Amino acid sequence: MVNNPFEVTKAVDFTDAQIAATWVDLPGGGFSHLADPRSPMPRFLVGGKGGGRTHLLRYFSHPLQRLRHNGNLLAAIQKEGYVGLYFLCGGLNSSRFAKKGQSADTWEAIFSYYTEIWFGRLTVNFIEELFEEAALDVKSAEVESFVNAVAELFDVPVVFPPEERNGLLALSKYFHSTQRQLDLAINNAALTHELDIKIGASPGRLVFGVPAAAARNLSTFSGVVFAYLLDEYENLTIEQQHYVNTLIREKRRPTTFLVGSRLYGLRTHETLSAGERNRQGSEYDLVVLESTYRSEVHDYKTFCANIVKKRLERESRHGGQSSWNLEAYFQEPVGSLEERAALHTREKLAAGAQPPWLEQLQKQLQDSGFGTDAPELLEQVRFPGSPLHEKFAILLLYRSWADGKDLRREAAENRHEVELLLEGSTGDSNSSEKISTAYKHQRKDLYAQILKSLGLPQEYFGFDDFVLMSGFLPRNLIVLLKQITRWSLFLGEQPFAGEGISLKAQHEGVREASAWFFSEAKGLGQVGDDTQRAIRRLGGLFRDMRFSDKPVEVGCSTLTTDRQGLTRSAALVLDAAIMHSLILEVPNGRREKNTGTLQHKYQLNPMLAPLFDLSLARRGQAGFSATEMNAIFDPGVSDSALGAIKENLLARMCAPFRLESASSQGKLFE
Amino acid sequence: MDYSLLRREVVSSRRLAELPAWDIFLSAYNKSERVNAVFDAVKAGRKEWLVHPEYDFSREELPGTGNLHVLQERDEAEFWRHYFMSAGVESWPRDTRICIDSTGFMRPHLMLFLRRLRDLGFSRLYALYADPKAYEAGEKTPFTKGAVTEVRQVRGFEGVHQPDRRDEDLLVIGAGYDDELIRRVAENKRAARKLEMFGLPSLMPHMYEENRLRAARAEEALGQLPSRSLLFAPANDPFATAQELHDRLQEERKASRIGNVYLSPLATKAQTLGFALYYLCEWAGGPASIIFPFAEYYSRETSVGLSRVWLYEFELDWFKPPLP
Amino acid sequence: MTVDETREDLIRRLKMLSERLWEGRCKRPDIDAWLNNFDGRHCGGDSEKERLHALHLLAHVSYFGLPEIRVLLRAMYRDLFRYPIVQKLRRDLGGTTDTEEIGRRFSEELQSTRFVGMGNPAESGTHLLYYFRQENRLPKSLFVHQHELLTSAANDPDADFSPPNLKRIVFIDDFCGSGEQSVRYSRKVLRVLDDVAKKRGSEVTYSYFVLFGTEDGLAHARSESEFDVVDAVSTLDSTDQTFGADSRIFRRPPGAIAAATSKYLAFHYGRELFPRWPLGFEDNQLLLAFHHNIPDNSLPILWFDEGEPTWAAIFPRHPKID
């Protein structure tokens, strides 16, 4: 395979035909149970970039309906019971509706009217084109009734050009010229500060009225739902979203709404009427795609595998391959963790040199007054044949040290246990079992520490890892595979054809994709910068914890907090990070037994794990105090103040494991 | 339309005296040698310093010479409104020889100025651009200082758009060195098909390559770009830029329907002027807009010396009549 | 940055260049094959150090692929050839904006122009001519070989230009290094043409256009050659001289890279390959390559491909036959 099957990563880059051809449904209930365009209950489809919203909305739109029914849109509408009218909110270029010497109220009214016209134009154009395509009679009585009904929706007299015989066309042109006049006035207002617009219809009249008129007068649309598929909702300001919320609240058949928005784009549920608010479950439903994927993890993995297979099929020159074994396409390191640790150590260390972790231990013991015991203690932990066991023995020693136990005695006992472990046999005692379990628990992170000490990069490989990394946004997976494939091609390999993609290609691809994700997820404005800084701080902290002498948690990239005591700025930044998918909120947070406050669980997006040398597994979690949370998230906290907090936090994880006194915590805000 | 009829020339730093004389000379103040050297060397009846709030100059940092206009408005329409009123531009004779040094001006303001003069019926605008000897940080001089706050249409370049059909919307980005800006604009119109324009020939041969490499960082935001999606025009020629846009979009229209067009010049000032010229000549009043990523503050550029000055003559009476 | 990090960084840069600008050339296996040339013999056995420096040089080569060459050829026609003519026509017509009239007159000017590749048919100049014609949609009739400019041999008393109303001859080449070649060529070819012009009482302008020229080379050609117009689409200056004082690639190099080491290596390996000019013809020290060839003004370690001594070129050169 010479080309890269993952070059196209975004829904928008697919033509309608391509979407139809590559459509992969969600296993289990399928997407249709997530969103039904015929449902009278408006629904918000919300999520991060690359969750599949646009894909889904386009799938519901009428060009795809047509493709599903062999080019017969009329049949499609009647069979599927709805017509999907896709509408890009960005097309309104709604930043025009502000300032220019006009009041906010004026703009509110004008925006609403303008959008009504936009909706109307979209709908009437569609009807007109459908009639032409299906060769329906535009001169019939029903068309005339429809046109008249629409004309009556306006508060102003609607005048058609007399020479236009085709009523639908005339109506279409009327909408077009009305919009045009509005555009010219709105645009010119910037230069003239004059805005002379007559509002021709009140909010909702056209949006609901045109479909209603169609359903009543045109037999084609009898019983058909008009589903407006609003995408890129985040392009509307709060005030503009008030208008849409008003429509959603009004809810009149045969109109319904499916609104696609980025997480950060859903700014308000208030309507144009002061004090009025739409509520989830009663005025609208809301689906967060990632949550759906997350709640059915096995399905998500299958879904991802299907997407990838479909891509490979399309790209493959030799017809339909009967099966694609995705795991086999990616090379894996050979040998157990223990063997690899030993191999790396041998390769990286100069002959006769002491491994860095022993060097460090020696120094720590000497600096902490254990100088005389050091040689003996080192002997007890030394396992030259298996660096992984050696590290484990050292970890046990650190634990004993932190617990204030007799080091020489502990070291000797532990050595015995580790020797048994190494042999593969276990002792009878409870402590033996505990140690064996602890080793199983720790070995991956210990291996990671070895890699770091030797100056080797962390390892991320294999399809499963990549699915994990995607953080429940399929596009992330595609980008990952795209970068990996590119590296594989650059290295002269033959991805998806011969041998598996090398570890090097996987590593470099992961690195690039991770960096891409971080820069791309940045929000607009100062808060975007602040969020990135916070993420770097958080990631850096997790990293320091992971590579400390005695980490409190294993595989930790999640924090818990009850959010009490957060400064306003910190809360803003934390929420922005969530809204931009840099941090994922893990559902099923617990309520504290005594206080009843909710413990939130927040995971650093696994796409970012490689940037901070973190594990992809979501195992351990760290509870942070308000001070610590503020130090990380509040942009007002200086780097040095953060440093002091970090030192305090890490003190119990690093030799000599002394807890700093409260007074040395330092000032948070300087 | 043949934009090559419009005049341009380049004058080396040692021969600034050869520049023609003007009635009015406008320059956006910044501390660089090139902007100041040109301001001093130019022969004009009246020389005006305009100060952009985005540069955040304190009173003490402002120049003592020339007529000083310190503007508070960031919005480009308000900026020129204010200046036009205080300088009495509407009363100037329409054959006044006006020259603007584009070097320090914000791009949206530069574009709107061209339009405003045309609307008022002025027949000519001369625009300069001053090239430094070297950029402080190589070519990696930061553009904005701090974050981009919004992407929106430039006042005076807002179009009459239609409900989009994704496959037919086009976004043409003039790619500069700042990949963040490219990304912001591309994201703002993520559903549109994208074309990317690069400066080739570039001022120095290696600059094209650096430009491509930096712009590549925004690649994901641009989506799949087949090789056909690139346009090229000389980095310092607004007229060839306009011509290239003209030729290319004509080709696109022959190949498939074009619905809405969005243009975003993020590279040189010459390119920016070229985009504006093209828009005013061919798209004003149509379904096209120029969009731009706005930031609250811009870095005061740190360039060294002056190597040459580019001069462009815009014949404003050539454009289509003003908008209704 | 550590040595390893520097290396990784350079490889990443090369990957981006390979994918986007170098038409897929110089993938990792090719790079490795080239790096293997450097076995440490000029650096006390430290082949890693040599390779790192070589990598740094490679990562700063300016390569112009076919798409870029086409764009530059369009620019050559539009900016160097057409623009001055159109401007003059406009002035002569009193500043008219009548694009049709100007277009008509320009056509006439074009018809009395001929485009010729520098050197003989096997050289890159003529190769470029094909793309130049294609890109600018020009009729074949305007493109001739040098000997077709006259109706008969130059020493024939009846020799005339072909066409008789020939006003302008444009010589095209890809690269002007020292300018010497153009000077020699002009003396050989233009003198002959000039004799015919004098006999016939015609006024013919001779232009020399290149895609890339060094500042010094162009200056030399302007002052010493017989060409009336000498111009380049893109000019190289002192910052492009790799080991010069102004070299842009050593202005702020990575910590592990030393300019002196780099020069030493390039020179000593270069001397084994191209003894007369170890750092490129006329000591130009360039890092410049094109889709169709690489000038010998670039560092020989990049292009030497003549079998003896054995050397794996990364941008093999097809030598000009002189």
CA separation for the pair C227, A542 (Å, rounded)? 69
Taking the CA of residue A508 and the nearest CA in chain C, the distance in Å comes to 9
3 state SS of A207? helix
**Residues forming beta bridges with residue B11, ordered by sequence position:** B309
Is the CB of residue B32 less than 8 Å from the CB of residue B301? Answer: yes
**What pLDDT does residue C243 have?**
97
Chain B within 8 Å of A247 (Cβ-Cβ)? no
The residue in chain A having the minimum alpha-carbon distance to the alpha carbon of residue C12 is A508
Contacts with B103 (C-beta within 8 Å, 6 or more apart), sequence order: B27, B28, B30, B32, B34, B35, B38, B128, B129, B130, B269
Is the CB of residue A229 less than 8 Å from the CB of residue B164? Answer: no
Q: What does DSSP assign to residue A92?
A: G
Residues of B in contact with C91 (CB under 8 A): none
Is the CB of residue A56 less than 8 Å from the CB of residue A35? Answer: yes
Tokens encoding A154: 């306006």
Question: Are residues B126 and B156 both part of a single domain?
Answer: no
CB pairs under 8 A between A and C: 17
Residue C291's closest CA among C80, C72, C32?
C72
**What pLDDT does residue C125 have?**
59
Tokens encoding C40: 């440490």
B149, B153, B224: residue with CB nearest A93: B153
pLDDT class for C199, splitting at 50, 70, 90? confident
CA separation for the pair C289, C23 (Å, rounded)? 12
H/E element, A665: none
Taking the CA of residue B314 and the nearest CA in chain C, the distance in Å comes to 13
Residue entry with tokens 């022993």 = A358
Taking the CA of residue A573 and the nearest CA in chain B, the distance in Å comes to 15
CATH number for the domain spanning B51: value is 3.40.50
Provide the percentage of residues in chain A whose pLDDT is more than 70.
Answer: 95
Residue A327 burial class via C-beta count within 10 angstroms: exposed 0-12, middle 13-18, buried 19 and up: exposed
CB-CB under 8 Å, B212 with C240: no
Lowest mean pLDDT among B139-153, C18-32, C60-74, C140-154: B139-153
Contacts with B25 (C-beta within 8 Å, 6 or more apart), sequence order: B39, B42, B44, B46, B47, B48, B98, B99, B100, B101
When divided into structural domains, chain B yields a total of 2
Residue A593 burial class via C-beta count within 10 angstroms: exposed 0-12, middle 13-18, buried 19 and up: exposed
CB-CB under 8 Å, C28 with A492: yes
CA separation for the pair A57, A37 (Å, rounded)? 9
CA separation for the pair A213, C292 (Å, rounded)? 66
Question: Are residues B173 and B291 both part of a single domain?
Answer: yes
- DSSP secondary structure of C128-151: HHHHHHHHTT--GGGB--GGGGBS
Is the CB of residue C257 less than 8 Å from the CB of residue C212? Answer: no
Chain B within 8 Å of A314 (Cβ-Cβ)? no
Q: Residue by residue, what is the 3-state secondary structure of A514-543?
A: HHHHHHHCCCCCHHHHHHHHHHHHHHHHHH
CB-CB under 8 Å, B158 with A183: yes
> Residue A94: what residue type?
S
Over residues A515-523, mean pLDDT: 93
Residue A414's closest CA among A398, A425, A424?
A398
C 28-67 residues with CB < 8 A to A: 28-29
**What pLDDT does residue A659 have?**
59
Provide the percentage of residues in chain C whose pLDDT is more than 70.
Answer: 96
Over residues A291-315, mean pLDDT: 86
Judge whether B116 lies within some domain: yes
Question: Are residues B28 and B106 both part of a single domain?
Answer: yes
Asked if omega into B265 is within 30° of 0 (cis), the reply is: no
pTM above 0.90, yes or no: yes
CB-CB under 8 Å, A492 with C15: no
Question: Are residues B112 and B227 both part of a single domain?
Answer: no
A 441-480 residues with CB < 8 A to B: 479
- DSSP secondary structure of B187-256: HHTTTSEEEEEEESS-SSHHHHHHHHHHHGGGHHHH----GGGEEEE-TT-HHHHHHHHHHHHHHHHHHS
Give chain A's length: 670
CA separation for the pair A559, A604 (Å, rounded)? 8
**What pLDDT does residue C76 have?**
97
| Other beta carbons within 10 Å of C87 | 17
Task: Specify whether the backbone of A510 is left (phi greater than 0), alpha (psi in -120 to 50) or beta.
Answer: alpha
Question: Are residues B97 and B154 both part of a single domain?
Answer: no
Residue B131's closest CA among B38, B238, B25?
B38
Give chain B's length: 324
A87, A100, A183: residue with CB nearest B163: A87
Neighbours of chain B (3+ CB pairs under 8 A): A, C
Residues of A in contact with C18 (CB under 8 A): 490
**What pLDDT does residue A46 have?**
93
Chain B within 8 Å of C17 (Cβ-Cβ)? yes
The residue in chain C having the minimum alpha-carbon distance to the alpha carbon of residue B137 is C252
pLDDT digits (tens, 9 = 90+) for A617-669: 878 899 999 999 999 999 999 999 999 999 999 998 998 887 544 444 444 54
Long-range CB contacts for residues C1-7, cutoff 8 Å, separation at least 24: C1/C254, C1/C255, C1/C256, C2/C256, C3/C48, C3/C52, C3/C256, C4/A455, C6/C52, C6/C56, C6/C254, C6/C255, C6/C256, C6/C257, C7/C52, C7/C55
Residues of A in contact with B167 (CB under 8 A): 15-16
The residue in chain B having the minimum alpha-carbon distance to the alpha carbon of residue C213 is B205
CA separation for the pair C247, C57 (Å, rounded)? 12
CB-CB under 8 Å, A520 with B221: yes
- Domain span at residue B224 reads 138-298
CA separation for the pair A170, B23 (Å, rounded)? 53
**What pLDDT does residue A261 have?**
95
Judge whether B324 lies within some domain: no
Question: Are residues B63 and B162 both part of a single domain?
Answer: no
List helix spans (H) across chain C.
3-20, 28-35, 47-58, 66-75, 83-92, 99-111, 124-135, 180-185, 191-200, 215-224, 259-273, 300-303
The residue in chain C having the minimum alpha-carbon distance to the alpha carbon of residue A490 is C27
Residue B230's closest CA among B217, B215, B210, B240?
B215
Judge whether B27 lies within some domain: yes
Q: Has residue C47 got a pLDDT over 70?
A: yes
Over residues B86-99, mean pLDDT: 96
The residue in chain B having the minimum alpha-carbon distance to the alpha carbon of residue C17 is B213
CB pairs under 8 A between B and C: 73
**Annotated domain spans of chain A:** 40-295, 303-329+459-519, 337-453, 523-664
Tokens encoding C17: 């260049």
Over residues B127-148, mean pLDDT: 73
- Please give the mean pLDDT across all residues of chain A: 89
CB-CB under 8 Å, B237 with C97: no
Lowest mean pLDDT among A149-163, A471-485, A506-520, A533-547: A149-163
Chain A within 8 Å of C126 (Cβ-Cβ)? no
Rg (alpha carbons) of chain C, rounded to whole number: 23
pLDDT class for C91, splitting at 50, 70, 90? very high
**What pLDDT does residue A553 have?**
86
**What pLDDT does residue B324 have?**
46
CB-CB under 8 Å, A491 with C18: no
Tokens encoding A65: 């309906």
Judge whether B83 lies within some domain: yes
pLDDT digits (tens, 9 = 90+) for A136-168: 887 889 999 999 999 999 999 888 877 777 888
Judge whether B323 lies within some domain: no
Q: Chain A interface, mutation test: which of C1, C7, C12, C17, most A Cβ atoms within 10 Å?
A: C12
pLDDT digits (tens, 9 = 90+) for C268-302: 999 999 999 999 999 999 999 999 889 999 999 99
Q: Has residue B125 got a pLDDT over 80?
A: yes
Question: Are residues B76 and B170 both part of a single domain?
Answer: no
> Residue B171: what residue type?
L
Judge whether B240 lies within some domain: yes
Taking the CA of residue C82 and the nearest CA in chain B, the distance in Å comes to 9
Chain B within 8 Å of A96 (Cβ-Cβ)? yes
pLDDT class for B165, splitting at 50, 70, 90? low
Q: Has residue C321 got a pLDDT over 80?
A: no
H/E element, B69: strand B67-70
Q: Chain C interface, mutation test: which of A348, A490, A494, most C Cβ atoms within 10 Å?
A: A490
The residue in chain A having the minimum alpha-carbon distance to the alpha carbon of residue C30 is A492
Residues of B in contact with A520 (CB under 8 A): 183, 220-221
Contacts with C68 (C-beta within 8 Å, 6 or more apart), sequence order: B200, B208, C21, C291
Tokens encoding A436: 């064996």
pLDDT digits (tens, 9 = 90+) for A166-178: 888 899 999 999 9
CA separation for the pair A200, A153 (Å, rounded)? 9
Tokens encoding A53: 């919203």
Rg (alpha carbons) of chain A, rounded to whole number: 31
Chain B within 8 Å of C68 (Cβ-Cβ)? yes
pLDDT class for B225, splitting at 50, 70, 90? low
Residues of B in contact with C87 (CB under 8 A): 5, 7
A455, A490, A508: residue with CB nearest C18: A490
Taking the CA of residue A491 and the nearest CA in chain C, the distance in Å comes to 5
Q: Has residue B320 got a pLDDT over 70?
A: no
Residues of B in contact with A100 (CB under 8 A): 77
Q: Residue by residue, what is the 3-state secondary structure of C254-292?
A: CCCCCHHHHHHHHHHHHHHHCCCCCCCHHHCCECEEECC
Taking the CA of residue A92 and the nearest CA in chain C, the distance in Å comes to 35
Residue C44 burial class via C-beta count within 10 angstroms: exposed 0-12, middle 13-18, buried 19 and up: exposed
CA separation for the pair C97, C311 (Å, rounded)? 59
Tokens encoding B221: 């935001």
A 110-129 residues with CB < 8 A to B: 118, 121-122, 125
**What pLDDT does residue B162 have?**
83
CA separation for the pair A62, B83 (Å, rounded)? 50
Over residues B23-43, mean pLDDT: 94
| Angstrom distances, CA of residue A319 to CA of A314, A323, A489 | 9, 12, 22
Judge whether B188 lies within some domain: yes
Strands A600-604, A558-561: parallel, antiparallel or unpaired by DSSP?
A: antiparallel
CA separation for the pair C22, C294 (Å, rounded)? 13
Q: Residue by residue, what is the 3-state secondary structure of A225-287?
A: EEEEEEECHHHCCHHHHHHHHHHHHHCCCCEEEEEEEEHHHCCCCECCCCCCECCECCCEEEE
Question: Are residues B149 and B278 both part of a single domain?
Answer: yes
Q: Has residue C96 got a pLDDT over 50?
A: yes
Residue C176's closest CA among C248, C123, C234?
C234
Neighbours of chain C (3+ CB pairs under 8 A): A, B
Residues of A in contact with C29 (CB under 8 A): 491-492
CB-CB under 8 Å, A9 with B220: yes
Residues of B in contact with C291 (CB under 8 A): none
Judge whether B60 lies within some domain: yes
Q: Has residue A356 got a pLDDT over 90?
A: yes
Q: Has residue B303 got a pLDDT over 90?
A: no
Q: What does DSSP assign to residue C296?
A: T
**What pLDDT does residue A53 have?**
87
pLDDT digits (tens, 9 = 90+) for A196-249: 899 999 889 999 999 999 999 999 999 999 999 999 999 999 989 999 999 999
Over residues A71-86, mean pLDDT: 94
Helix axes A141-151, A167-192, angle to 10 degrees: 20
φ/ψ (deg, to 5) at A600: -90, 145
φ/ψ (deg, to 5) at A259: -115, 125
CA separation for the pair B259, A515 (Å, rounded)? 35
